[in-house]
A and B are shown apart, each in its own frame.
Chain A
Amino acid sequence: DTGVSQDPRHKITKRGQNVTFRCDPISEHNRLYWYRQTLGQGPEFLTYFQNEAQLEKSRLLSDRFSAERPKGSFSTLEIQRTEQGDSAMYLCASSLGRSTVTETQYFGPGTRLLVL
């Protein structure tokens, strides 16, 4: 499968714990995006990377959230001191990122987080 992959697919944690999610984009895609989706809603943008540079962060991304893409390939999203309101599906997407033209974003299967 050459699509976007995410790990884990499901995560259950207790409030106050830290969690980390991983995203592997489509090979040779330079742009990587993180979105959050709550039940019954459309995905909401969190942040995106052009290669290893984090270029935009949403106000939804509080200080407890941090995303990295150290080598410009896979990315991690960490949530510290999780709260029940963090329960959601965390989606990763990637696109070619070869120009400034808007490009199609392809999504992974998501990581569903439940904070107890």
Chain B
Amino acid sequence: GESVGLHLPTLSVQEGDNSIINCAYSNSASDYFIWYKQESGKGPQFIIDIRSNMDKRQGQRVTVLLNKTVKHLSLQIAATQPGDSAVYFCAEIPLIQGAQKLVFGQGTRLTINP
């Protein structure tokens, strides 16, 4: 069935270092992938997305990599800052006509150490 999972539930990095958050997905028919950041008590905040016809996409300080061969997605955050501390979710939307349902993974808690 559809599932999106993350390799690590927690990740701690030093301020200024780069961080990499990984995500494995099981639905090879998924067409669209998205990373959200969620701070305590708030709703998920869009970070970056990527479609299945791409393998890399860059934003401001963030890069998403998609490896369809092994069904793996990663989020790279450059020069982490204290404000990057949050739970990060990957989510997918399967390639089904009209499908608009996001399927989320459990999340990775990123902690930035000063």
CB within 8 Å of A: which residues of B?
A: 4, 31-32, 34, 36, 41-46, 49, 51, 89, 91, 93, 97-107
Contacts and interface: CB of A to CB of B under 8 A. Distances in A.
Contacts of A4: 43
B43 A110 contact: yes
Give the interface centre of A44, A95, A105 by most chain B CB atoms within 10 Å: A105
Given A45-B101, A103-B100, A104-B34, 8 more contacts: A4-B43, A41-B107, A42-B89, A43-B89, A48-B100, A91-B43, A105-B34, A105-B100
A112 to B, nearest CB: 8
Contacts of B98: 55, 100
Contacts of A85: none
B101 A56 contact: yes
Contacts of B44: 43, 91, 107
A107 B101 contact: no
